[in-house]
Amino acid sequence: MSIVLRIAREEWRSLLRNRVAVMGTILLTILMLIASLTAWEHQRNAGEERARYQAQSNHEFESQPDRHPHRVAHYGHFLFRPLNALAAFDPGINAYTGNTLFLEAHRQNSANFGDVRQSSLLLRFGQLTPAFVLQVLAPLLLIFVGFAGVSRERESGTLRVLLTQGVSSQQLVIGKLVALLGFSGLILLPAVVGLCLLSVSGASAWAMTLLLIGGYTLWLLLWSLAVIFISSLCQRGRDSLLALMAIWVLVVILLPRWVPDMANAAIALPTRFENEISVQREYLALGDAHNPDDPKFAEFRDKVLKQYGVTRIEDLPVNFKGLVGMEGERKSSELFSHYSTRAFDLQAQQNSFVDGFSLLSPLFALKRLSMTASGTDLQNFRRFLEQGEQYRYNLVQGLNKLQAESLTYADDTNRQKENRIARSNWQAFPEFKFTPGSSIETLKGALASIGVLTLWIMVLGVLSWLQSRRLGRAIR
């Protein structure tokens, strides 16, 4: 057995005889199990509930009696965001963004501009989830277990004894690191098993599972390096513990709270109320799409008449009211899209602002990676909103087209006449199917985070190496 492994084995034996290490590991494993089970149970219930509500909503929409297509467009439709199985591991911003959309003609879908999104920055804190346990509590346990790894040898005098047996200081530091990495593996094991089970059962893609395992492995490697580095830097175990606790508080607790607030202050998002007023003002300026005589649509009317080679809308072969509805929907959707894109761009700027602080706290990078892989990040939510909005637009325009083609203008403008079309028309519309991002897209999205974590590891690795060399010379 190599000297490094022998040192690691001895450190393990010491850990096994260390009550803090044993109790901490048991406690963390229990927490991880509780977090996994509760998150999974919540996830399963929520998933079943959403599927049930979606089926009910689809059924109610399709069950509308024969009626005017524009009434169908205003009847509305609900979309429920399907849950990614990995959301049980890291629910990310799901709890704050909502997962239900109400779709209606000339209305932006209900989720956009919601107040919950005002603080949809990636860095919420506090839910007991497997991700929370690994992100916040696991480093703490590593600190308690490893803070004295090297400093204890120096403090007790055994460092001198070890070195005089012909052990190099680098071997000592690497041995301690290997021991702590083994311990990290033990901490990570329950999550690895759980994630692999999800992939084996087909509930999640292997690529995402491996990305999560890789990301959290980097995270624990980073902390193991940090713990050993500080431990080799400090003369006494007590100093090492204090320094590591201060770093943990800053990196894991304070910065993830301060930085989002700073981002909010630096790049303010308009409130839902402000957005609604702005959108409504501009929407009213577009004209009333229910009224074919609205002067705002005069230009459109002239264009249509010219296109069909007639002079009166009554002579058009299609129902002009339906066409105006389509044009109005196009314009209003452009308006909604403009505001939605602007809001998302601002949020992207906020997230970039936060990402910049990954060089101070690698937790930002890990959180981004974790949520990206779990499909619970802002990008994934945006994808759902955009697909939902596209579905709403197609649905409403389909109904407008039915109005234009199935009803005559004369009938449609006659208030005494009931204008209904068969419900089979909208029953033929496709159901909403959410398409998540591909594995390649997700991996690309996580590359920056992997880069930041790797950079941290490299820097800590170099510092630890240099310090380990110094350690062999710093004894008198």
Partner 1 sequence: MLIDKVISSEASSSEYVLDARDVLAGYGSKTILHELNLHIRPGEIYALLGANGAGKTTTLSLFLGFLAPQSGLVRVNGIDPFTRPTEARKNFAYIPENVALYEHLSARENVAYLLDLAGQHEDASTISNALAAAGLDSSAFDLRVGGFSKGMRQKVAIALALARKVPALLLDEPTSGLDPQATTEFNRLLGLLRQQGVAILMVTHDLLSAADIADRIGFLEAGRLVEEVAAQGQDRFDVRNLHRRYAGQAI
What is the contact surface with partner 1 in residues (CB under 8 A)? 1, 3, 6-7, 10, 13-14, 17, 156-158, 160-168, 472-473, 475-476
Task: Please identify, using beta-carbon distances, which residue of 83 and 162 lies nearer to partner 1.
Answer: 162
The owner of tokens 């001895």 is 10
Kindly report the backbone phi and psi dihedral angles of residue 90, in degrees, each rounded to the nearest multiple of 5, phi listed first: -140, 100
Closest by CA position to 58, among listed 465, 431, 438, 329: 431
DSSP conformational letter for 358: G
Task: Please identify, using beta-carbon distances, which residue of 8 and 335 lies nearer to partner 1.
Answer: 8
Task: Please identify, using beta-carbon distances, which residue of 30 and 474 lies nearer to partner 1.
Answer: 474
CB of 239 to partner 1, least distance (A): 19
Task: Please identify, using beta-carbon distances, which residue of 6 and 44 lies nearer to partner 1.
Answer: 6
CB of 233 to partner 1, least distance (A): 18
Alpha-carbon distance of 177 to 183, in angstroms, equals: 10
Q: Which two tokens stand for residue 305?
A: 């008449």
Q: Which two tokens stand for residue 144?
A: 């308690």
Sign of CA dihedral 96, 97, 103, 107: positive
CB of 469 to partner 1, least distance (A): 11
SS3 call for 291: coil
CB of 259 to partner 1, least distance (A): 42
Write the CA distances from 306 to 289, 297, 313, integer angstroms.
20, 14, 10
CB of 163 to partner 1, least distance (A): 7
Secondary structure E strands in 216-339: none
CB 172 within 8 A of CB 146: no
Task: Please identify, using beta-carbon distances, which residue of 164 and 435 lies nearer to partner 1.
Answer: 164
Task: Please identify, using beta-carbon distances, which residue of 17 and 433 lies nearer to partner 1.
Answer: 17
CB of 161 to partner 1, least distance (A): 5
CB of 183 to partner 1, least distance (A): 16
Alpha-carbon distance of 336 to 297, in angstroms, equals: 19
Alpha helices in 63-205 (DSSP H): 69-75, 94-97, 130-132, 138-146, 151-156, 158-163, 169-200
Task: Please identify, using beta-carbon distances, which residue of 165 and 416 lies nearer to partner 1.
Answer: 165
